[in-house]
A = this chain, B = another copy of it.
Amino acid sequence: MTGETTDADVVRPRRGRPKQEGLAERRREQIVQSAYHVFAANGYESTTISDVARHAGVGQGTVYRYFESKREILDHVFDYAAGQFVGVIMTDDLMTPIDSLDEFSDRLVDIAKRMAATLEEQPDLLKLILVEASAADAELNARMLGLEGFLAEAIANVMQDGQEKGWVRAEVDTAMYSHYVIALVMPGVRHAILGTLTPTVSDRFATATVGILAAALRVPEATAS
């Protein structure tokens, strides 16, 4: 109120506990990751905030300092999981052009391997994306579809490029087939989620997936001719 406060009072130069920039973000991540695990383990509805807090090693109240509601946490968990998922698939080498069906197959197998590896470490990743997301909520479901659409789009581009380059049959409905590429990965993915994936079985899945895809896309051997 009065002027004679020497200088301070107005500038309020770092008084009190320093605000620890970044703490908030770290806490959010910490909580989201914990939520990710317990949601995946028990399902969203069956998980209590208490569970999340305990797993994160914080009090329940703390959770609410960083998220408005349980539902908001799920949103972030989905983003987190989707981010990881996409991260596994979308690597730089994905962007390099593909010039033959074999390359495409290799690339797919590559991705599949990476995914398998990731899923081995984080078996919950897809359960969360696939199951919890669809069960939770129409809105989240839509976002999941968005993610799928995004992937399909990328795949469709590759296939179109392949058509131009001649290693994909011209008749292929790329917009459709892209979704089928994803669908063809699912059987393997599901087993991975369930944890029943020995290397042998994994190979069979890879072979089958690639075999079917190759057959579907391959330009008919200029038979006879």
Instruction: State the A residues within 8 Å of B (CB).
Output: 16, 43, 45-46, 59, 61, 130-132, 134-136, 145, 171, 173, 176-177, 179-180, 182-184, 186-187, 194, 204-205, 207-209, 211-212, 215-216, 218, 220-221, 223-225
* A180 x B225 contact (CB < 8 A): no
- Identical chains bound together, number: 4
Interface of A is mostly: helix
* A212 x B131 contact (CB < 8 A): no
- Assembled-state Cα–Cα distance A74/B97 (Å): 49
* B173 x A204 contact (CB < 8 A): yes
Please, which residues of chain B bring their CB within 8 A of the CB of A145? 194
Q: Which residue of B lies closest to A2 (CB)?
A: B26
Set B43, B135, B180, B204: member contacting A187, Cβ < 8 A? B180
Set B46, B186, B216: member contacting A183, Cβ < 8 A? B186
* A205 x B224 contact (CB < 8 A): no
